[in-house]
Amino acid sequence: MIVIGLTGGIASGKSLVAQLLGQLGAVVLEADRIGHEVLRDPSVRRALTAHWGREILDAEGEIQRSVLAEKVFAPPPAGPRALAFLERWTHPRIAARLRDRLETLARQGDVPVVVLEAAVLYKAGWDALCDILVFVDADSDLRAARVQTRGWSLEQLRAREAAQPPLDWQRARAQFVLDNSGTHAQLAAQVLQLWHSLPLASRSTNFPERPFTNGSDDP
């Protein structure tokens, strides 16, 4: 079983690449989704509430990620201190769940490729769980336009990227770089080329002539 660590800049298209790899037969683990689970852990909820108060909870008593984001991506020094506190409580628990799921998949014996999608792959040290590192690249202006369609400001984009290792640093450590500045079809062709380069995948999977369900040429 090959574990691919998938990372890249915000709005570079990591989730799309993960989706395309999933269509080819990979099992996708989304660190962000597992992070949602960790925030529902009673011990984590108690610790964060004790630190920030009940203002971080919604009407059902669940942690509001949008409120956390306002705190951890606030300007220095408050923001970085808040982010460090949050990561001390969440990163080890996310890592434990990732290891458990990887071990379970490995025991199954029929999973050729697992994709670990994580924006904080390097910062959290989860690259140590991976055999191959893939960086999804995209033009900075294009990424800025994409986040604005999500309702984010450029300041929010910069604050979140400032909390991660520099993109050039991440790109240099990847064995594969996929460029998502073009069309969907162009990205899909790169993903298929990556898939064919994986020895376990190429031995264990019959590739369809048209492997991807989304035929759009939009990036």
- How do residues 6-34 score in pLDDT, each as one tens digit? 999 999 999 999 999 999 999 999 999 99
- Per cent of the chain over pLDDT 70 is 91
**Rounded CA gap, 40 and 38, in Å?**
5
Q: Is residue 219 pLDDT above 50, yes or no?
A: no
Q: How do 132-137 and 113-117 pair as beta strands?
A: unpaired
Q: What pLDDT score was predicted for residue 208?
A: 39
Q: What is the SS3 assignment for the chain? A: CEEEEEEECCCCCHHHHHHHHHHHCCEEEEHHHHHHHHHCCHHHHHHHHHHHCHHHECCCCCECHHHHHHHHCCCCCHHHHHHHHHHHHHHHHHHHHHHHHHHHHHHHCCCCEEEEECCCCCCCCHHHHCCEEEEEECCHHHHHHHHHHCCCCHHHHHHHHHCCCCHHHHHHCCCEEEECCCCHHHHHHHHHHHHHCCHHHHHHCCCCCCCCCCCCCCC
- pLDDT per residue as tens digits for the range 56-91: 999 999 999 999 999 999 999 999 999 999 999 999
Name the band, by pLDDT with cuts 50, 70 and 90, for residue 159: confident
Higher pLDDT, 161 or 133: 133
- Mean pLDDT, rounded, of the chain: 89
Segments making up each domain of the chain, as ranges:
2-204
| pTM for this predicted structure | 0.86
Over residues 176-202, the mean pLDDT reads 88
Q: What pLDDT score was predicted for residue 160?
A: 84
Name the band, by pLDDT with cuts 50, 70 and 90, for residue 210: very low
CATH 3.40.50.300 fits 2-204, yes or no: yes
Q: Is residue 207 pLDDT above 70, yes or no?
A: no
Q: What pLDDT score was predicted for residue 201?
A: 45
Over residues 107-120, the mean pLDDT reads 93
Name the band, by pLDDT with cuts 50, 70 and 90, for residue 200: low
Q: Is residue 150 pLDDT above 90, yes or no?
A: no
